[in-house]
Amino acid sequence: MESSGTAAGLDGRSIGGFLTGMAGLGIGVAGLLVEGSFLALAAGLTAILCAAVMLTPRHPPGRTAPAEPPDSAVQLPTRAAASLSEEEKDAFHANRGLLGPDYFPIAVRSRINSARRFLKPVSVVEMRIVPAGGPNGLDGETVNRTVVSVIRECDTACLLGSGRLGLVLEDTPENGAVWAVERIRRTLAQLDSDCHVWAGISCYPAHAMNAEELLASARDAYSRAQDWSQDRIEVAVSD
């Protein structure tokens, strides 16, 4: 029934436009025969009316054009709403920009998939920061805020277990990752001279070709860094 009503509306409009056009043609011919300028003007006006009739949009009977939704009804997805679980959202807000441990392997896998398409390196860092104890030492929240302030917006910082942090540094080779960790260490040292940093770094594709291997090699490098009593940054060994 809806299709029939639409077709009827279009046919009626076409017939009306055709009749108006024929009337304009007749007036124009008469104007040429009698050489009357008034008739020529009338023919021109009729042609304009014919065009207006043909171009006017028509909706099916009983229907109106769909209205645009109000701005308040349009909800744009945010990064947190699109990619984080409720637990990870809580971790993000509670730790001043650090995501939860479950998000770390997901972020690594996502960055590697993107790096394969655009032929760019990705570095993964597993690190531990131990501030000095006592009233002059940094608290964990200040350490977390400092790390987030040093890395770039495109990078990812996650809070892992046992006081460890995980970083995913986008478009960063191993030497760039070393400098990123060193900037974190120096920034913290300015706030707390007795703060210590141990870190292990692994880079795609230099040290591993998938997320599992990259995480494992970063963890192994971090384990070797822990063997030192002072600050230490270890880079994964290439196969």
Chain segment 108-147, per-residue pLDDT in tens:
999 999 999 999 999 999 999 998 765 667 888 888 889 9
With a cut of 60, say whether residue 231 has pLDDT above it: yes
Quick: pLDDT tens for 62-82: 444 434 333 333 332 333 334
Q: What is the CATH number assigned to the segment(s) 85-235?
A: 3.30.70.270
State both tokens at 207. 């040290």
Q: What's residue 16's pLDDT?
A: 56
Beta strands in the chain (DSSP E): 122-130, 156-159, 164-170, 196-204, 232-235
Quick: pLDDT tens for 15-35: 655 565 566 556 555 555 555
Most confident range (mean pLDDT) of 7-16, 36-45, 54-63 is 36-45
Lowest-pLDDT choice from 68-77, 151-160, 182-191, 222-231: 68-77
Beta-bridge mates of residue 164: 128
**What's the distance, Cα to Cα, between the start and end of the chain in Å?**
71
Which is nearest to 119 in space by CA: 168, 154, 167, 171?
171
Alpha helices in 35-167 (DSSP H): 37-55, 79-83, 86-94, 103-118, 140-150
More confident call, 73 vs 60 = 60
Tell me the whole-structure pTM to 2 decimals: 0.60
Which is nearest to 115 in space by CA: 2, 185, 214, 33?
214
